[in-house]
Structure formats: structure tokens, C-alpha cells
Structure 1
Amino acid sequence: MQRNPFERVGVVGLGKMGAAIATALVKKGTKVYGFDPNISESPVPGVTLVGTLDAISKESEVIVIAVKPNLVLPVLKEFSKPSTFVSIAAGISFANLSESAPKGSEVVRVMPNLPLVSERGAMAYFCEDPVAPSVERLFYGMGSTIRIAKESLMDAVTGLSGSGPAYVLTFLQAMAEGGLQEGLSYEESLSLAMETIEGTLVYFRSLRNEDASLHPMEVRNWVTSPGGTTIHGLDALERGGFSTAVRDAIKRATERSKELGKG
């Protein structure tokens, strides 16, 4: 893997995810050029706004397309110079990206998520073999990257890790509200809930580093005593359909990603 960052990267679209990627790139020392006709000044310090897609193309070694899915292909068709284009849009196929980009371009499908700003992103990508090192180079230092062998699985990635931060934050809020309901202040509950979620994941990851076959349920059983508080809490979760609801959320988000790809 090449760890030295690109010197110049263009980002088209500086909404939440585009700005997050731009922020992470600036932190790495990359010169970032942004294009977004909906803003008059960059939301990210260190990003140079340019007025045209031609200027982005001229200044950048690789270009991240971070606009809404329905705009990805029209934007690509506006470019005249071949480049390496990285699309983060859900549902837009590799074939359509390739057909819309200037002839001679290289294209990549990536599904990142917002924690990349904190160097804890979970990103999966699909591309042709020669481009893979460039993808790893672009996202190095932003979290973990996984190359997907079958493009059809990118929709599942979207449903799981792309949308996943929203599921986790919903769970976090529910835990905080549960503590509030039982008499803790909201700030006390939120603090305890955040540390519990983060601490559990750090702990489980350390265990997996020693035993890669370790299953989450095995560790869960360590803190689930017969007749104790945890088993009663878990029973309430399952009676409420917790596990099924999480699986259904990922399934529905995956289906929506497929729908977006059909236009």
C-alpha cells in the first residue's frame, strides 16, 4: 500500500460527506480543491473553492464525486479531460460511471461513512485491479478499507456501514433516554452510554486481535449471569424485536440502494 497522500485532490460537492472527506484530506496535508455551485465559501478550512469543473480537472490528480446520486452521471458527463473519478454515491453502477466519464478515465465506487473524519471510517470499494492502490492511497489514514470482489455487494455495504452510523446514534439516544427514564440526568446517561458503546467495541477488538474466531455472543455471555440484570435486559430487547429490527434496517437500506441504481 502506498501511504504517501495525493498532493492534489478535487472534491465535487461539499455537503456532509464531501466536506467530511475534504476535512480528512486536509488533515493529511493534501491540497484540496472544491467545487459546489450551491455555496459561496468553503465549509472546510483549507479547501480552495474553484468556479468550474474544468478547474477541478486541471488542478487535481484524482476527483471525488460527492453529489447526490441523481447528479453523479450528469456531472461526470460535464468533464472533458480523463481522470481518476471516485464516486461515493449509493446505487450508481461501475458500468454507468465508466460510460459517463471521459474516455480514458478510471472510475471507482466507494462507500465511506462519516467517522472517517476521526480516522475511524469503515469504507468498501469496487474498482479494476490497477486502480486499487490509488484508492488505498486516497483513503489511507481515514479508517479501514475493504475491497469488494463483487460489485453487487456494494448495496449491502451501503445498508450496513454507509447507513450504520445512524443506527448506532439511534441506539445511543435510546440508551441515554433509558437512563433518563430511570432517574439519571440526560448528560449522565449520555456520557455513560457513549463510554459503554465505545469501551465495549475497543475491548472486543482487543480480544479479536488475540483470537480472530471469537464471536460477539461468546463475550456477551461473560457478562450475562443466570437470573441477573443483563439477561432480563436482553430479554426485553428481544421481546421488542431488537435483533430482527437491526437486520431489517440493513435489508431495507440495501434495497433502497438498489432502487437508487435503477433511477
Structure 2
Amino acid sequence: MEKNPFEAVGIVGLGKMGAAIASALVKKGTKVYGFDPNLKESPVSGVTLVGTLEGVRKEAEVIVIAVKPNLVEPVLKEFSKSATFVSIAAGVSFSKLSEAAPKGSHVVRVMPNLPLVSERGALAYFCEDDVVSDVERLFAGMGKSIRVVKESLMDAVTGLSGSGPAYVLTFLQAMTEGGLQEGLSYEESLALAMETIEGTLVYFRSLRGGDASLHPMEVRNWVTSPGGTTIHGLDALERGGFSTAVRDAIKRATERSKELGKG
């Protein structure tokens, strides 16, 4: 991983995502100070727990707010000194963050996902121009980061990549159960399904390295022979509403993100 430009970063909330970000930062050699009133010890090796929010601010000028959406504003209002606050909460708007943070602070909206802990995360962010470089360097080495030009797109990011790992894992389990149903053991089926999903993505990414306009359906057609097994399998997926269900999942998650933003 690229070395982090900040000597220290604070993280408020060490749940799944907060801990994932903390772990990734520690790997980059960053000193991480965490605050979580529900924990007596840090779930991440290398993170120093601090007893108060002000204690976090004393140690770090960049603070990641990784609490539930309804707690973001109350937490920000507890700080008395300005800082750069990075919120990963779904639905909490830039304006609400700015109003709740101490005067003179910079605020950033980020929607990451869990694979960032393995350096393969997908995240998008919205912020002012003068902190773009800081955000890019903060999350450098954790995966693909994209700056959205309209804040409204953050809800779509939440529905797609923020919630996306759950969709992929559901598909993985469905493939595994399909193999199990046809006689493979669970472990055999799971191993084949995982390698198929990962291998296909690596292969497609490598192809797009030589042709950025290459469409997924074009490559899919390469393995879809007339009257063969694949076209029959694809037919079953479409009769089951697979593509529509995926689009609807993203739409519903996006709508929920908007609902959370309304309080």
C-alpha cells in the first residue's frame, strides 16, 4: 500500500466498516486513534482506543465518522475544534455535515465498501475542491475511488457498490447451492463458484485493459454456443427475472439511502 500522507487519523465507530478502514490505514503505516463507547479494546491491532471524542481530535486532524446515520450529526456537534471530517454514513447530506461540524471544518461524504480491507474496495466521495487530494491520498491503495460531481449520485453509489458485496455474496451462495443440488459437495461447489466469479472478473478486466470499450455481453457471447449448456442456463436466469431483480435491488437500496437522508 502507498504510505498515508497523514501521521494520524481518528476513527469514531469501530464496527465492520470503521474497523475495515482502520485496518487498511494501519497497513499503510498510519497511526490510528479510535473511539467507540461500546468497546473495551480495539478489534484492530495497531489502533489506539481513546476515551473521548475530544481525545480523538487532540491526536488527529482527519477524523472518519463511522457511526449509524442517525448518530452522525450528534457526534459532529460534540467536537469543539475544526478538523477534516469524513462521513461514511448513507443518506447524511453534505449540508447537514457542514452545519453540524465545528466552524472552519472541511467535510467529506464517502461511500466505501468492505473489500477495501483487502485493497479491492470500491468507493465514491463528494467534497469541496480543496480537499480532493487529501481524500485521494487517505484512501489510496484501498481500491478504486471515484469523485462524483453531483451529491445526489451518492445515493446511487450506496445502492450499487455500498450494498453490492451483499448482492455478490448472495449470488455466490446461490451458485454454490446449485452445485450442491446437482451432487457436488458444498466445499467443492463453493470453491468452484468463488474461482469462477473472481476469475471471470480478472479476465474481463485484463481484456478491457486492451479495449476499454469492450462490453460484458460481448465476452459472454464467446462462451454461449448455439444450443449449448450456457444458453440454457442463461434462459433460466432470465425466466427467473435475474437481471431485473439485480436492477431492482440497486434501485431499492438507492431509494432507502434517500429515505435515510430525509431523517
**Fold agreement, TM-score > 0.5:** yes
* Secondary structure in structure 2 of the residue aligned to 1:44: coil
- Counterpart Cα distance in 2 of 1:235 and 1:114: 32
The aligned residue for residue 157 of structure 2 is 157
- Counterpart Cα distance in 1 of 2:120 and 2:234: 28
Instruction: Give the AA of the match of 1:245.
Output: A
2:232 maps to 1:232: yes
The aligned residue for residue 23 of structure 1 is 23
Deviations 1:179-215 (A, max 9, x none): 0000000000000000000000000000011000000
Cα drift, residue 5 of structure 1: 3.1
Cα drift, residue 6 of structure 1: 1.4
Q: How many equivalent pairs are there?
A: 262
* Secondary structure in structure 1 of the residue aligned to 2:152: helix
* Kept in 2: contact 1:113–1:161 (CA 8 A): yes
The aligned residue for residue 241 of structure 2 is 241
- Counterpart Cα distance in 2 of 1:184 and 1:5: 49
RMSD: 0.8
Instruction: Give the AA of the match of 1:102.
Output: P
Query: Would you identify which runs of 4 or more consecutive aligned residues in structure 1 move more than 2 Å?
Result: 2-5
- Counterpart Cα distance in 2 of 1:16 and 1:121: 14
* Kept in 1: contact 2:3–2:28 (CA 8 A): no
Deviations 1:210-232 (A, max 9, x none): 00000000000000000000000
TM-score, normalized by length of structure 1?
0.99
* Kept in 1: contact 2:3–2:29 (CA 8 A): no
Map 1:40-55; keep pairs closer than 5 Å.
Answer: 40-55=40-55
Cα drift, residue 7 of structure 1: 1.2
* Kept in 2: contact 1:41–1:49 (CA 8 A): yes
Instruction: Give the AA of the match of 1:238.
Output: E
The aligned residue for residue 138 of structure 2 is 138
The aligned residue for residue 66 of structure 2 is 66
* Secondary structure in structure 2 of the residue aligned to 1:151: coil
* Kept in 1: contact 2:4–2:28 (CA 8 A): no
The aligned residue for residue 13 of structure 1 is 13
Task: Structure 2: give runs of 5+ residues left out of the alignment.
Answer: none
- Counterpart Cα distance in 2 of 1:87 and 1:25: 16
Instruction: Give the AA of the match of 1:236.
Output: A
- Counterpart Cα distance in 1 of 2:223 and 2:7: 48
* Kept in 1: contact 2:179–2:189 (CA 8 A): yes
Cα drift, residue 45 of structure 1: 0.5
Map 1:56-135; keep pairs closer than 5 Å.
Answer: 56-135=56-135
TM-score, normalized by length of structure 2?
0.99
Deviations 1:97-156 (A, max 9, x none): 000000000000000000000000000000000010010011001001000000000000
Cα drift, residue 4 of structure 1: 4.0
Cα drift, residue 61 of structure 1: 2.5
The aligned residue for residue 194 of structure 2 is 194
The aligned residue for residue 34 of structure 1 is 34
Q: State percent identity of aligned pairs.
A: 87
Cα drift, residue 3 of structure 1: 5.9
The aligned residue for residue 166 of structure 2 is 166
- Counterpart Cα distance in 2 of 1:119 and 1:54: 30
* Secondary structure in structure 2 of the residue aligned to 1:76: helix
